[in-house]
């Protein structure tokens, strides 16, 4: 089984997320263009609570979490309608992996509803047998990786992600990690690396991950 991180691995949604959050921030606080895509990029891979503490730490705790919740709800609807930018080669490569018989899933530290918004907006339903989110289960990424593997009867898997937390989670879950080096961060101890998404099938084979 191949399990993917989402942001920085399958697509770059930083512009769309910043745009959607700024709509809510202006409505709630009157501040315009508060966040940039770079701000969002720096938060990718963190839970929504952590993001709220970082971006809205100037607000009292209850208000910062309320603002973040309003942002994430609007973001899901915005993403579902507008989509965002897939990395080059994603569709072609997923087609090849699907044809080769690989089960594929998405596990992200995002809010509930974000992965389904991604799948629907980009018409990716046929590629993924399952997905899981921190916002739906409250589990760590490692916990969600294990949950997806258990649900799908996967004895072995590999996780594809772009930041060190992804490798930490995959190793905690007992599986190898492939570093998507074109993404948002660095991984020091990944078992393999891809510099572009279309390198994935060969690297998966080299790791011995069976379909």
pLDDT in tens, 16-49: 999 999 999 999 888 776 899 999 888 877 778 8
pLDDT tens digits along 127-169: 999 999 999 999 999 999 999 999 999 999 999 999 999 999 9
pLDDT tens digits along 115-128: 999 999 999 999 99
Sign of CA dihedral 46, 47, 48, 52: negative
């Amino acid at each position: 089984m191949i399990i993917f991180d989402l942001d920085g691995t399958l697509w770059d949604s930083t512009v769309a997320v910043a745009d959607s959050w700024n709509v809510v921030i202006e409505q709630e606080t009157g501040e315009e263009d508060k966040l940039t895509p770079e701000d969002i990029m720096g938060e990718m891979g963190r839970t929504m609570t952590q993001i709220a503490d970082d971006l809205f730490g100037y607000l009292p705790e209850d208000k910062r979490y309320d603002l973040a919740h309003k942002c994430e709800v609007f973001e899901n609807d915005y993403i579902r309608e507008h989509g965002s930018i897939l990395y080059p080669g994603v569709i072609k490569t997923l087609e090849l992996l699907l044809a080769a018989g690989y089960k594929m899933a998405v596990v992200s530290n995002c809010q509930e509803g974000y992965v389904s918004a991604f799948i629907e907006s980009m018409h990716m339903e046929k590629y993924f047998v399952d997905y899981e989110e921190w916002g739906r289960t409250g589990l760590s990424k490692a916990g969600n990786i294990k949950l997806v593997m258990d649900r799908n009867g996967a004895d072995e898997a590999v996780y594809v992600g772009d930041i060190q937390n992804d490798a930490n989670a995959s190793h905690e879950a007992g599986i190898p990690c492939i570093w998507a080096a074109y993404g948002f961060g660095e991984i020091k101890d990944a078992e393999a690396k891809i510099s572009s998404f279309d390198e994935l099938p060969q690297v998966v084979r080299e790791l011995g991950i069976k379909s």
